[in-house]
Structure 1
Amino acid sequence: MQLGDDSVPRPQRAGLFTRLRNNFLTGLIVIAPIGLTFWLIWSVIGWIDSWVLPFVPARYRPDIWLLNQFDIDLDIRGIGVGFFLLFTLLVGWLAKGLIGRSILRWSENLVQTMPVVRSVYSGLKQIAETILAQDQSSFEKACLVEYPRKGIWAIAFISTTAKGEIKARAGAPMMSVFLPTTPNPTSGFLLFVPEEDVIILDMSVEDAAKLVISAGLVYPSSQVPDQVPAGATVVR
C-alpha cells in the first residue's frame, strides 16, 4: 500500500449543527442544576414571605419604610424569612423556660380536649420530633429488599428494628424499612422485613437517595458496581 492512499477512510468532522447541539447540551447540563437550585430557593423564600409578611406590622418592614421615606418601591425577598427565624428562636427560648413550659403544657392539654384537632396535632408533633430530632438521624442505613416479589430487589432505608406488638407477633427479628418511590423519594411504603432478608449496603443514605431519584443513573463513586449501565453517571 502506498503512502497517502485515498482508499483509507478518514474520520468525518462533525457538522456545524452537530457541534452547536453538543455545546448547547453541555451548557444545559451545567446550567440546569444551578438554575433549578436557585429557582427553588427563590420560590421557597417567596412562599414563606407571602405567609409571614401579612402578620408583620408595616412599621417594622424595611420595604414599607423605604417606600414611605424615599418613595422607593423595592421588593426585598427574605424579610419574611428573617422574621420567621427570629420568631422561631424566640419561641424556642421561651419554651425552654419555666413559664414557657407551663404555657406549652397548658396549650397541649387544651388541644387534647378537641377530638379532631387532637389527632392531627399528635400526628404532626410526632412526625416533627422524628424528623427534627438532633440526637438521631431519620434513617440508619440503606439496604436492599426483595420487592415486589422474590428475585426483584429494591433500595430501601432502614428506620429501626420492629418493636411492640409487631415484634411480639412476628415471631422473628424484624426490621422496619421505608421503600421510596422514583423519582419522588418522599413517598413510598413502610415494610416490615425479616432481618435475614435485608442486605445492608455500604453506601450512605444520601447516595442511595441520589440513586433512587435518578432512576438508577447516578451511582456513588465509592461504590461503583462492576458493570455500570450504559448512560449512567458516576458521582464524583
Structure 2
Amino acid sequence: MMARATRRSVFISPFKGLRPTFQPPKSPSDLATGPGGRFLGLMSDTPEKSTFASRLGHNFLTGLFLLLPVGLTLYVVSVLLDLMGTFIQPAIKDGLVWLWTYAEQPAPDFTVGLYRQLVVISSALVMIFILVIVGYLSKRLFGKVLHRWFATALERIPGLGALYGTIRQMVDALSGRNKDTFRRVVMVEFPRPGMWSIAFVTHEQPTIFSEAIGKPVVNVFIPAAPAPTTGVILQVSPDEVRETKLTVGEALGLLMSFGAVVPKPASKE
C-alpha cells in the first residue's frame, strides 16, 4: 500500500504548483505562423507572386476566350459553306478548266496547292451569292410560290418527306420564322422537385395526351445546353408551368452561353 502511494506521488509531483490555464483554439492565421506554418502556408489564401509566365498565360487565356466565339462562328459558317459547296465545286472546277482552255493555256491541276484554294474560294463566293438571291426571292410572291411548291413535292416522298418536315420545323423555330412552334418560354420542375429548368411550350392543348392522362396538359420542350436542338419533351399540367418574361431568342442565348448571358430586367422596359 505504501509503495503504491509513493509511485502516485512521484507521478504527480512534477505538476504541483502549476495552475491550469485555458487556451482558446488557435486561429488558422496563428497556425500558419506557428510550427508547421510552412505547410499551412501552401494552403493559405495569400495571392501568388505574379511572374512573367503567369501574366503570359493569363493574357493568352483572355485572348483565347475573346476570340473563341468569333472563331467558332466562322468555323460553323465555313463548314456549312463547304457542305453546300460540295455540289458546286465540280462545276466551278469545270468552269475554270474551260477558262484556261479558252485562253489557250494548259489547265493546271485544281486538286492541289493554290489552285485547290482557288476552287474552294470561288465555290464559297458562288454559294454566298446563291443564298443572297434565294433569300431575296423568298420575300417575293414568285419565291414564296416556288418554295411552297418545292416543299410540297419533297414532303410527298416517303421517308424523305418526314425528315425534311422535321428539320424545317426545327430550323424555323430556332430562327424565329415560325413563332407558333416555340410559343413562350416557361420553367418547369425538372429533373426532380425543387430544381427548375427552362422549357418552351410547343403545344397548348394536345388532346391525344390529355385524354390518355385524364387531365389537361401542355407539351413542353426542355432543351439541353449548349445545343438547344436536343432535349426532352414532357406533358405537364398547366398549373405546373411557371411563366417567364424571356423571349425565345433570349432563352436560346442563355442556353448556348451555359447560362452566362442573362437578360437584364431593364431591357424589357
Compute the TM-score of the two structures, normalised by the length of structure 2: 0.59
1:70-149 matches, cutoff 5 A: 73=115, 74-75=118-119, 76=121, 77-83=124-130, 89=137, 93=142, 96=145, 107=153, 117-125=157-165, 127-128=167-168, 131-132=171-172, 134=177, 136-149=179-192
Amino acid paired to 1:222 = K
Structure possessing the higher radius of gyration over alpha carbons: 2
The letter of the residue matching 2:158 is R
Runs of 4+ with >6 A deviation: 103-106
CA contact (8 A) 2:250 2:263 kept: no
Q: Is the 8 A contact 1:157 1:179 kept in 2?
A: yes
- Distance change >3 Å, CA 93–CA 126, structure 1 → 2: farther
| 2:258 aligned counterpart, secondary structure | coil
The CA distance in 2 between the partners of 1:83 and 1:65, in whole Å, is 22
Do 1:176 and 1:193's aligned partners in 2 also have CA atoms closer than 8 Å? yes
Partner residue in 1 for 2:70 = 34
8 Å CA contact 1:50–1:80 kept in 2: the answer is: no
Q: Partner amino acid for 1:41?
A: V
Task: Flag the 1:66–1:201 CA change in 2: closer, same or farther, 3 A.
Answer: farther
Can you give the 5+ residue segments of structure 1 that lack an aligned partner in the other structure? 1-10, 225-236
Structure 2: gaps spanning 5 or more residues:
1-46, 108-113
* Bigger share in helix: 2
Q: CA deviation at 1:214?
A: 3.5
CA distance in 2, matches of 1:51, 1:132: 24
TM-score relative to the length of structure 1: 0.66
Bigger fraction of residues in strand: 1
- Give the match for residue 222 of structure 1: 264
**Aligned counterpart in structure 1 of residue 218 of structure 2, from 175, 186, 200:** 175
Alignment coverage as a number of residue pairs: 201
Q: Indicate how the Cα distance of structure 1 residues 25 and 174 shifts in structure 2: closer, same or farther if over 3 A, else same.
A: same
- The 5 A counterparts of 1:9-28 are 14-28=50-64
* d(CA) in 1 for partners of 2:52, 2:150: 69
Amino acid at match of 1:153: W
Quick check: 1:162–1:192 contact (8 Å CA) kept in 2? Answer: no
Q: Which residue is equivalent to 2:111?
A: none
Change beyond 3 A, Cα 1:57–1:18: closer
Q: CA deviation at 1:204?
A: 2.3
Per the alignment, residue 4 of structure 1 pairs with none
Give the residue type in structure 2 aligned to 1:82.
F
**Alignment RMSD:** 3.9
Cα distance 1:95–1:179, how it changes in 2: closer, same or farther (>3 A)? Answer: closer
User: Looking at both structures, which has the greater relative contact order when contacts are Cα pairs under 8 Å and sequence separation is at least 6?
Assistant: 1
